[in-house]
């Protein structure tokens, strides 16, 4: 879908156009969704059932039926950057992001994470809470990580427990370990 088609469909629907694609990755299929403002959602383990539920949630939250369009400019670029990331050729993402699925404290925490925790580093939940001026909010930071609509691109896998534990992860702990190993933070598992 080119930009002209996007604009026409958006005008016909009376508002927001939502496009999506599934990208294969080193951690399994990822559902990527975007609006005219940028990438709006990344969903792990995007098999058919997961994909259908995610698309229904997006339609409900954004008020537009998502359209499959892997050739849309934002999605094509996101797929290209993800491929480079998993090939070890890219350390960060340079994509427009649509933050409309998250607000308030959660958005503040995720923006700090996106800009302040680079590839190959980790941060504790409490440290991230302090960075946004809420030193007692470590548990709320954990909630923000679980609500992250843009995992991987907004790297919640880089948030760990202060005692050295890996912490939780919406994509599963095996996925988190794989991503941290890719970034050189954890050793690759032996088997």
Which position among 129, 156, 160, 179 bears the catalytic label? Answer: 156
* Closest C-alpha to 132, from 161, 106, 98: 106
44: Cβ contacts below 8 Å, ≥ 6 apart: 27, 28, 30, 50, 151, 152, 170, 171, 172, 175
What are the φ/ψ torsions at residue 48 (nearest 5 degrees)?
-55, -45
Alpha-carbon gap, residue 150 to 40, rounded angstroms? 7
Active-site residue flag, 124 = no
**Pair of tokens at residue 29:** 């299929």
The edge-to-edge listing of strands for the beta sheet with 67-68 is: 38-43, 30-35, 19-23, 67-68
The DSSP symbol for 103 reads: -
* Closest C-alpha to 142, from 98, 184, 105: 105
Q: How many Cα atoms are found within 13 Å in the side-chain-facing hemisphere of 64?
A: 22
Return the active site residues: 156
């Amino acid at each position: 879908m080119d930009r002209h088609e996007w604009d026409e469909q958006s005008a016909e629907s009376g508002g927001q156009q939502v496009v999506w694609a599934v990208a294969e990755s080193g951690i399994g299929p990822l559902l990527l969704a975007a609006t005219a403002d940028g990438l709006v959602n990344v969903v792990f383990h995007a098999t058919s059932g997961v994909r259908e539920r995610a698309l229904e949630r997006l339609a409900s939250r954004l008020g537009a039926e998502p359209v499959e369009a892997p050739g849309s400019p934002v999605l094509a670029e996101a797929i290209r950057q993800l491929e480079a990331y998993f090939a070890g050729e890219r350390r960060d993402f340079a994509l427009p992001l649509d933050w409309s699925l998250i607000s308030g404290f959660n958005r503040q925490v995720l923006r700090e994470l996106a800009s302040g925790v680079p590839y190959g580093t980790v941060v504790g939940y409490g440290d991230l809470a302090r960075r946004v001026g809420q030193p007692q909010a470590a548990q709320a930071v954990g909630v923000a990580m679980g609500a992250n609509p843009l995992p991987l691109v907004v790297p919640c896998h880089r948030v760990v427990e202060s005692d050295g534990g890996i912490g939780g992860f919406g994509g599963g702990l095996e996925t988190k370990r794989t991503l941290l190993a890719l970034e050189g933070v954890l050793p690759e598992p032996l088997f």
